[in-house]
Amino acid sequence: MCVMCSMAYSATGVVMATTTGLPVVTTASQMTTNTVAVSQVASLRTLPQVLENVKAPALREPGWLVQQKAAEAAAVAQRAAQRRAVTVVTYDVTTKGTVVANLAEFRTQASATLNDSRGWARLGVSFQEVASGGMFTLVLSEAGQIPSFSSGCGTEYSCRAGRYVIINQDRWLGATSSWNSAGGSLRDYRHMVVNHETGHWLGHGHAICTGAGQPAQVMQQQSMNLQGCAFNPWPTASELWSTQLGIRL
């Protein structure tokens, strides 16, 4: 019997071990990469598409803001209109002391400077010479007479004292040594000095050079020292305001 059992055991084992057919199962190690399945599952997603459509709505401005903006726009337009309206600034011309310079030329050149499109006329004003009673008085003065206008005025340079815009006859005729040695022309100096002193009347103080090589502001004391700036007889854009005339930048 034991022999028979042994034979049967061996036979069963051998037959079972060699039985052909499909593998019992596909084991985990036999699994293969299947990126297709990943995309197939991912295709079921709904949130990304919904989130893609989540956008802040374009907000129409509320009525009160529209009104505020309209009021602001109107105010801006009004100011612009006011600026565009030409303000006439009148001035009269006189002399002080012994004047040897050509007064007619002085008048002509001063008027040309004041109404030049590069000058204070950019404020939206027009300078008009009148016989008397002007808003300011342009004076061509003998150098020695200038201190008589104000103790703050000297004989060397031009000056402004109250309503008087005083041009030093010596400077009118010969500019300054620093100007001349730097190669500035007499006509430009005349533009500069008329603009500078009129600038004081308009409400400006003195300015300093804003940077080497930059055009000097007309309110810089260019007669004395350019401070590294370049000659500039005309007011710069930042100087286009006047407290005297109530014009803001």
Partner 1 sequence: MKRTNRPGKSARLFIAKHKLFVGIASGLLVVLLIIGGFTAWSLAQWREYDQHTTSQQRAFRESLAAALALPADTSEAKAKKRVAIQAASTAFAAQQRICDVSWLTAWQQRLFEPAKKRVDDCRASLAALDTLRGDVDRTMSYLQHEQALASLIATATDGANEQDEALWQATSDKWQTLTGAIKNMKVSSEFEPVRARAGQLAELVSAGWKELLAAHTVKDRSRYEKAVGELDKAYVAFQALSQDDVTTMAALLQPFETLSDK
The verdict on 47 binding partner 1 (CB under 8 A) reads yes
Question: Residues 210, 93: contact at Cβ < 8 Å?
Answer: no
Closer to partner 1 by CB, 59 or 237: give it: 59
For partner 1, the binding residues in 2-31 under the rule CB under 8 A are: 4-5, 8-9, 11-13, 15-17, 19, 21-28, 30-31
Binding part of the chain for partner 1, among 58-66, 99-107, 161-169, 218-226 by CB under 8 A, reads 58-66
Amino acid at 53: N
- Of 204, 225, 176, the closest CA to residue 236 belongs to 204
Question: Residues 229, 213: contact at Cβ < 8 Å?
Answer: yes
3-state secondary structure at position 33:
coil
Tell me the closest approach of the beta carbon of residue 74 to partner 1, in angstroms: 16
7 φ, ψ (degrees, to nearest 5): -65, -45
Closer to partner 1 by CB, 2 or 104: give it: 2
The verdict on 50 binding partner 1 (CB under 8 A) reads yes
- Of 88, 94, 87, the closest CA to residue 164 belongs to 94
Question: Residues 103, 141: contact at Cβ < 8 Å?
Answer: no
Binding part of the chain for partner 1, among 57-65, 93-101, 132-140, 229-237 by CB under 8 A, reads 57-65
Binding part of the chain for partner 1, among 36-44, 152-160, 187-195, 231-239 by CB under 8 A, reads 36-44
Closer to partner 1 by CB, 34 or 117: give it: 34
101 φ, ψ (degrees, to nearest 5): -70, 160
Among 2, 53, 81, 85, binds partner 1 (CB under 8 A): 53
3-state secondary structure at position 64:
helix
Closer to partner 1 by CB, 55 or 84: give it: 55
Closer to partner 1 by CB, 36 or 104: give it: 36
The verdict on 46 binding partner 1 (CB under 8 A) reads yes
The verdict on 41 binding partner 1 (CB under 8 A) reads yes
In angstroms, the CA 44 to CA 58 distance is 31
The verdict on 59 binding partner 1 (CB under 8 A) reads yes
Using left for φ > 0, alpha for ψ between -120 and 50, and beta otherwise, residue 124 falls in left
